[in-house]
């Protein structure tokens, strides 16, 4: 006999497994969380967004970044489809590099309340100057292995 699906009462349905329209803005985007099946274990989950795009709030020109998000979950994990939709909502959003990077980190921290979270925003040059932005919250549990984010500093044509 097949198992019945669990019904999530009192909570909106996840975006996973159904068509979802693009969010008009980061504020309008919905981030979903799911229970961590290994909440008793310290481990790092990593999301990499090598083609993150937003707009300069002054010129309206596109800005591009390679984002790396690492976190040690507690009770919840971020659902990856909702994270993709959230990150894509920045494409028509005007904000400075620092604002985007830190806002993403703070939003994930508020949703997940992880044991530890860091985000590295490796921004491609604008006006000849690359800007890298790093934000971290929480305390990394002792003995937890965190690999290097693996993004080389910008070198230009050197």
**Residue 63 is a catalytic residue:** yes
Question: What residue ranges of the chain have pLDDT lower than 70?
Answer: 1-12, 157-158
- Residue 56 has what pLDDT? 94
56 catalytic per annotation = yes
The confidence score (pLDDT) of residue 15 equals 87
Summarize pLDDT for 92-126 with one digit per residue, the tens: 999 999 999 999 999 999 999 999 999 999 999 98
Ramachandran assignment for 37, one of left (phi > 0), alpha (psi -120 to 50 degrees), beta (any other): alpha
User: Could you tell me the pTM of the whole model?
Assistant: 0.89
End-to-end CA, the chain: 64
Give the integer Cα–Cα distance in Å for 149 and 71. 12
pLDDT of 131 reads 93
Which residue is catalytic, options 32, 63, 70, 100?
A: 63
Residue with tokens 């590099």: 97
Q: Per the residue annotation, which of 56, 74, 103, 132 is the catalytic one?
A: 56
Topology of domain 43-125, per CATH?
GTP Cyclohydrolase I, domain 2 (3.30.1130)
Q: Do residues 72 and 44 touch, judged by C-beta distance below 8 A?
A: yes
Q: Which of 152, 132, 154, 141 has the alpha carbon at shortest distance from 44?
A: 141
Fill in the DSSP letter of residue 98.
H
- pLDDT of res. 62: 95
What ranges do the domains of the chain cover?
43-125
């Amino acid at each position: 006999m097949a198992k019945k699906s669990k019904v999530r009462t009192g909570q909106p349905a996840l975006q996973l497994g159904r068509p979802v329209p693009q969010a008009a803005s980061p504020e309008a985007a919905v981030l979903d969380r799911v229970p961590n099946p290994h909440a008793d274990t310290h481990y790092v989950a990593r999301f990499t967004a090598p083609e993150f795009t937003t707009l300069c709030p002054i010129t309206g020109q596109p800005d591009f970044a390679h984002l790396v998000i690492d976190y040690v979950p507690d009770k919840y994990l971020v659902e990856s489809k909702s994270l993709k939709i959230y990150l894509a909502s920045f494409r028509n959003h005007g904000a400075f590099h620092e604002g985007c990077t830190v806002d993403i980190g703070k939003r994930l921290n508020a949703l997940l309340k992880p044991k530890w979270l860091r985000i590295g925003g490796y921004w491609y040059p604008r006006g000849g100057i690359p800007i890298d932005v790093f934000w971290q919250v929480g305390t990394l549990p002792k003995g937890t292995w965190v690999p290097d984010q693996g993004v080389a500093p910008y070198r230009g044509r050197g």
